[in-house]
């Protein structure tokens, strides 16, 4: 039996500019027909764009059995950024098999979601899927008031020049009573700071939170991608929790 991760060829059916920095791509075609969803709300896939071999990771904003929606942030430079900025309709990309990390305990009475623009697709899908009160902090550079489900309890935060200040935001949160689940994603250095805060200051058990570095600021450094897939496989094989696997991924990116 092959241990290679599944890959699906997919055609870009439509492209829509949702805001200055957010582009919606709708993928479809026969190759996607047997895509297997995890059905978890922060589900992501790898995306390989034409003429490239490096993978970038994107949240599945929605999958209806024939069409997959990915909402792609276009930032200053970048492999997918530059491709998605242009007219990519009709082009064929490769999608890798879905993975997910969201693991809300059954007894959770509330959910807190914190993230930057790259996390907004996942925060929208999580908000649609959970049944308990959900509070969102979204650090975005554009006006995306209509992006989240109607009635979402959201605090919009400006993106500070050159990065993110989500770690400071989390330190000021007035936490609800009772047990709940905290989900957060964004720039890796911010996420490392938050993990420390949750462990040392809030002393939360790791089953009550999920904190993921979605991208790494390389300001002043040479960017180098680290493929999370082998780290995810090795971590799962050795019985590590998702939190430990994400911490390993951040450490690998830090070393690269």
What separation in angstroms does the CA of 107 have from each of 99, 122, 153, 176? Answer: 24, 22, 21, 14
**Segment interacting with ligand FAD, rule: CB under 6 A, options 88-96, 106-114, 136-144, 211-219:** 211-219
Cα dihedral 185, 191, 195, 197, rounded to 10, equals: -110
Which residue, 66 or 218, has its beta carbon nearer to ligand FAD? 218
Which residue, 202 or 229, has its beta carbon nearer to ligand FAD? 229
Tell me the Cα Rg of the chain: 18
The tokens for 104 are: 């809300």
Binding mask 5-24 for ligand FAD (x = CB under 6 A): --------------------
Nearest distance from C-beta of residue 166 to ligand FAD, angstroms = 12
- Under rule CB under 6 A, residue 231 binds ligand FAD: no
**Segment interacting with ligand FAD, rule: CB under 6 A, options 55-63, 105-113, 149-157, 167-175:** 55-63
- Under rule CB under 6 A, residue 77 binds ligand FAD: yes
For residues 79-95, one letter each, b for 16 or more C-beta atoms within 10 angstroms of the residue's C-beta and e for the rest, the string is bbbebbeeebeebebbb
Q: Distance between alpha carbon 149 and the CA centroid of its chain, in Å? A: 17
* Residue among 11, 78, 85, 193 that touches ligand FAD (CB under 6 A): 78
Binding mask 115-154 for ligand FAD (x = CB under 6 A): ---x--x---------------------------------
Sheet of strand 111-116, all strands in order from the earlier edge strand to the far edge: 153-157, 134-139, 111-116, 181-187, 209-215
The tokens for 230 are: 């082998």
Residues engaged in binding ligand FAD (CB under 6 A): 44, 56-59, 71-73, 75, 77-81, 118, 121, 214-218, 223
């Amino acid at each position: 039996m092959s241990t290679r991760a599944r890959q699906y060829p997919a055609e870009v059916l439509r492209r829509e500019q949702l805001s200055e920095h957010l582009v919606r791509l709708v993928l479809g075609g026969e190759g996607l027909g047997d895509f297997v969803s995890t059905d978890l709300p922060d589900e992501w896939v790898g995306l390989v764009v034409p003429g490239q071999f490096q993978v970038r990771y994107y949240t599945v904003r929605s999958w209806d059995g024939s069409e997959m929606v990915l909402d792609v942030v276009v930032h200053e430079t970048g492999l997918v950024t530059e491709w998605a900025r242009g007219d990519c309709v009709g082009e064929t990309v490769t999608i890798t098999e879905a993975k997910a990390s969201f693991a809300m305990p059954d007894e959770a009475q509330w959910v807190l979601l914190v993230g930057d623009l790259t996390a907004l697709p996942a925060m929208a899908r999580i908000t649609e899927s959970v049944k308990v009160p959900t509070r969102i902090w979204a650090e975005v550079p554009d006006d995306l008031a209509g992006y989240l489900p109607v009635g979402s309890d959201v605090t919009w935060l400006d993106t500070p020049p050159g990065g993110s200040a989500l770690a400071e935001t989390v330190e000021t949160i007035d936490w609800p009573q009772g047990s709940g689940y905290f989900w957060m994603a964004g720039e890796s250095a911010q996420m490392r700071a938050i993990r420390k805060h949750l462990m040392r200051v809030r002393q939360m058990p790791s089953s009550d939170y999920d904190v993921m570095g979605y991208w790494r600021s390389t300001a002043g450094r040479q960017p180098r991608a680290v493929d999370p897939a082998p780290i995810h496989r090795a971590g799962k094989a050795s019985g590590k929790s998702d939190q430990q696997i994400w911490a390993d991924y951040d450490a690998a990116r830090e070393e690269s």
